[in-house]
Amino acid sequence: MAKGKYKFDPESLSFNKIQFSIKAKIFRFFSYFLATLLIAIAYNVFFFSFFNSPKEKALNREISQLILKYEIAQKELELIENELEFLQKTDDNIYRTIFEAEPIPNSRRESGIGGVNRYADLEGFDNSEIVIETAERLDKIKKKLYVQTKSFDEIIELAMNKEDMLASVPAIQPISNKDLKRTASGWGYRMHPIYKIRLFHYGMDFTAPTGTEVFSTGNGTIIEVRRSRGFGNTILIDHGYGYKTRYAHLNSFNVRKGQEVIRGDVIAFVGNTGRSTAPHLHYEVIQNGKKVNPVNYFFNDLSAEEYDRMIVLSMKSGQSFD
């Protein structure tokens, strides 16, 4: 096979060999090399635009599997959130109701996690949205679980103290009143016997002769034994668990400040001291700093029928005794 290139000469009617200079040869070499390189680049661009390499295919499969796992995790997190919500409602509406504890505020359960952006490292990727959403939901669940475990710790403590609490909560009438005949003025608006105007009566009055025994309605500690112009001789008992009871218009005391008492102990005697119009006992129940209707705290003394009758009797009198 002939080497080199030849050019036909029409004058001599012969082929003359073409001679290239070294510069031309170098130029031709680089021209061919550049053309080949450009074709190779164009081929690779075209190929990788429409076809993935084996490594890219493997990575894409892994990405698809990860996205699928995140989607499954989202559904599982939803189930966990539903179960956690059920536990929260049970905690607030059953357990805490049984132990007379305040429900956990929703703001505390739903409070976020403060600080800088915790998910900055997860931003900027094709699938950042699902990854960040999953991380956020997981963090919220962990926070709610922490709050719930603390609540259950509190419930366990309350359950362990339930016997003591049942003995401490006011649960009997403060004087002997088996036939309910000593039930006088009850909770609500009543005509004041001295001022002759309607005022709210924050307690219950029991009529009884001077010297009638007055009982502690639950276990507790005497925190106040005093004399005042309005309530006369009064005793205040702290029963714990948010409960206190007040006994007013007493004739004399049978306890001292700081003394421990149990339900049924005689703590004083009925009198007519202070701003009172007849011998009687004014009795109050205070729960978490707020006065409440005492008629709801006689459940150890009364049957259902007696309770209904007491409510009627306490509402009949239009005038209080103090």
CA distance 17 to 74: 78
Range of the domain at 46: 6-50
My answer on whether 109 and 90 are in the same domain is yes
Listed range (59-68, 208-217, 252-261, 295-304) with the worst mean pLDDT: 59-68
Query: Is residue 179 situated within a structural domain?
Result: no
Give me the percent of the chain exceeding a pLDDT of 90.
26
Q: Which residue has the higher pLDDT, 46 or 114?
A: 46
Which residues neighbour 308 within 8 Å (Cβ) at sequence distance 6 or greater?
A: none
State the total domains in the chain: 3
CA distance 320 to 184: 8
pTM of the model: 0.54
- pLDDT at residue 196 in the model: 65
Q: Which residue has the higher pLDDT, 165 or 161?
A: 165
Q: Which residue has the higher pLDDT, 121 or 262?
A: 262
My answer on whether 226 and 140 are in the same domain is no
Q: Which residue has the higher pLDDT, 247 or 203?
A: 247
Query: H/E element holding 176?
Result: none
Which residues neighbour 279 within 8 Å (Cβ) at sequence distance 6 or greater?
A: 207, 208, 209, 210, 212, 249, 251, 270, 271, 272
Helices (H), 173-322: 304-316
My answer on whether 104 and 116 are in the same domain is yes
- pLDDT at residue 263 in the model: 94
Q: What is the mean pLDDT of the chain?
A: 81
Kindly report, residue by residue over 280-309, the tens digit of the pLDDT. Answer: 999 999 999 999 999 888 888 877 788 778
Query: Is residue 227 situated within a structural domain?
Result: yes
Kindly report, residue by residue over 184-230, the tens digit of the pLDDT. Answer: 777 777 766 666 667 788 888 998 999 999 999 999 999 999 998 88
My answer on whether 201 and 306 are in the same domain is yes
My answer on whether 202 and 282 are in the same domain is yes
How many distinct helices (H) and strands (E) make up the chain? Answer: 7, 13
pLDDT band at 1; cut points 50, 70, 90: very low
CATH of the domain at 219: 2.70.70.10
* Residue 169 scores a pLDDT above 60: yes
Q: What is the mean pLDDT of residues 113-119?
A: 62
